[in-house]
Amino acid sequence: MKKKLITIFFLAAAVIGGCKEEFALPEITAPELTTVEITRSVDLTFDYITEAGYKSSVLSAAGGSAVIKTDGSAGSLSGSIIVTFTAGSDAGAGSVTLTLTDNEGMAEEAVAVINISNVPTISVTENISSNTTWQTGKIYILEGRITVLSGVTLTIQPGVVVKGRAGSESNATALMIARGGKLNAEGTSSSPIIFTSVSDQILPGNTESPNLEPTLNGLWGGLIILGKAPISAEAEAMQIEGIPTSDLNGLYGGTDPADNSGTIKYVSIRHGGANIGEGNEINGLTLGGVGSGTVIENIEVVSNQDDGIEWFGGTVNVKNVIIWNTGDDAIDTDQSWAGTLDNFIVINPGDECLELDGPEGTLAAKHTIKNGTIYAGSAQGIADLDDANTASDSFVDMNNIYFFGLMTGQDFDAVPTYYNCTFSNFQATIPSGTTLQTFFKDGSDAYTTSVNAGARTVGANVTNFSGWSWTSVSGSLQGF
């Protein structure tokens, strides 16, 4: 009998042991790349999930010191641990490694990478409600959607680097100039102003990113400028795409064609286009109802997830533009923009090189696009003027444009007799074995007489982009 009882005991123990619950390893998410000035402190938030419940955590740091400011809650299945990192006296790379242990003794770690800079770094957390200057030699971090309010001017001095936090949907990061506000961002050819992501380790005084490729997009939002100039839409004022309708600072349009939203010169906008919803991303530079009193010159957009520049009505003139590696269209016009784009370069857009639309309301104004060089590359198409809302859509005059890098399947899709457009002095280098009609067509070959194959006496003045643009400094304008 004793032997049988012992056997039953061990069998029961084995059964109980075999039914012991198995837990997954804890999961820890480190914050994105953070920049902090030497000897300064910054808070880092690590998020965790653990099926067995939180027990403890330990830290190690490089490039400075770290302490736990807010610990996880004992036994909690999820939560956050806030760590304060204090940078040392040397610029360079730093890190904080957090190792979390759960109640089953299982451990996991995550590493937060820190850029320790000797450049002053300022966190921008609130809308700009009084005249403000961002100063040369400093980095400004957009912690969310930051708006320059009506009646207020934001001045950005040459060489400033503005970095946006990651964010999507209603939390997408952007700098927005509301109607009645002004942005005076005047870089120079030797000291451009750069808008980029916090993941970019670039410092003031540099042109190329030291760590991000020029094909990486969607890391933050973009630059949005809104004005009071006329638009052709359902109403005199509309809500700009990419901004939630709950934010009334996103309204654009009005009755003042000479409206002035400021001066923007020598500005490079990179790695943007955060998605706020299905098919609704932020453009590199959005111009909504911007008036002719606004000066916009020498603009570069690199690797934006949506369009490079998109105009929504307005009358502003823009010159010296380069758009490289967009996920969608390079140049997009809507709602009867009535200005001129002069001297531009397009390289490798994801969809159309040119997406040109016209009226959506009763106003029917015409815009002009001239003196451009377009490298189609992997683009889906050269130009699309067929998104017609009315029989008189796409009022545009185009002249002195050179196309190359064309591939079979791309085309310039327009019917000038239908759309009230004019095309003149087009030149193109086309692949061997193809014809101009393959790419430039309207069903009757009516305007291929405006295109010369193989010639190259028109196009952009490339020298205007030398030195200050990443595209030029990287060597990507060779052959242009």
Total domains present in the chain = 2
Please state the rounded mean pLDDT for residues 199-210: 92
| pLDDT attached to residue 372 | 98
Domain match, 111 and 128 both? no
Angstrom distance (rounded) from CA 145 to CA 163: 12
Q: Are 330 and 442 within one domain?
A: yes
Strands 78-87 and 41-49: antiparallel
Buried-state track 109-123, b at ≥16 Cβ within 10 A, e below 16: bbebbbbbbebebee
Q: pLDDT for 306-348, tens place per residue?
A: 999 999 999 999 999 999 999 999 999 999 999 999 999 999 9
pLDDT of residue 8: 41
Residues 140-162 have pLDDT tens digits of 999 999 999 999 999 999 999 99
Long-range contact set of residues 326-330: C-beta below 8 Å, sequence gap at least 24? 326/217, 326/273, 326/284, 326/301, 326/350, 327/217, 327/218, 327/273, 327/281, 327/303, 327/351, 328/281, 329/353, 329/354, 329/355, 330/354, 330/379
Residues 107 and 253 in one domain: no
Average pLDDT over residues 63-83: 97
Shared-domain flag, residues 300 and 364: yes
Place of tokens 């949005």: 224
Which runs of E-coded beta strand occur in 328-377?
A: 331-334, 340-347, 352-356, 367-375
In a domain, 361, yes or no: yes
User: What is the mean pLDDT of the segment spanning 11-40?
Assistant: 76
Q: Tell me: pLDDT of 284 over 50.
A: yes
CA dihedral 377→201→168→159, nearest 10 degrees, is -80
Mark whether 449 and 353 lie in a shared domain.
yes
What are 251-265's pLDDT values in tens digits?
A: 999 999 999 999 999
Same domain membership, residue 133 and residue 113: no
Residue 342 lies in a domain: yes
| Domain boundaries, position 368 | 121-471
Q: Is 4 contained in some domain?
A: no
Please give the pLDDT value at position 168: 66
Shared domain for 215 and 358, answered yes or no, is yes
Only one residue has tokens 């970095």, namely: 163
Going from the C-alpha of 433 to that of each of 117, 376, 436, 437, the distances in angstroms are 55, 18, 10, 12
**178 Cβ contact partners less than 8 Å away, ≥ 6 residues apart:** 147, 148, 149, 150, 226, 249, 250, 251
Residue 106 to residue 33: CA distance in whole angstroms = 27
Q: Are residues 126 and 68 in the same domain?
A: no
Indicate whether 187 and 44 sit together in one domain. no
Please compute the mean of the pLDDT values over residues 267-276 and round it to a whole number: 91
CATH classification at residue 101:
2.60.40.10
Domain end position, chosen among 101, 117, 133: 117
More confident residue, 411 or 416: 411
Domain membership of residue 261 (yes or no) is yes
Q: Is 13 part of any domain?
A: no
Q: How far apart are CA 302 and CA 323, in angstroms?
A: 6
- Structural domain contains residue 19: no
Asked if residue 428 and residue 302 are part of one domain, the reply reads yes
User: 194 and 87 in one domain?
Assistant: no
> How far is it, in rounded angstroms, from Cα 138 to Cα 141?
10
Average pLDDT of the residues of the chain: 89
Of 68, 95, 117, the last residue of a domain is 117
Residues 156 and 53 in one domain: no
- For residue range 367-401, list pLDDT tens digits in order: 999 999 999 998 999 988 864 444 446 789 999 99
Find the distance separating the first CA and the last CA of the chain, reported in whole Å. Answer: 96
In a domain, residue 157? The reply is: yes
| Residue 21 included in any domain | no
pLDDT beyond 70 at 419: no
pTM recorded for the entire structure? 0.83
Q: Which of 61, 92, 117 is the last residue of a domain?
A: 117
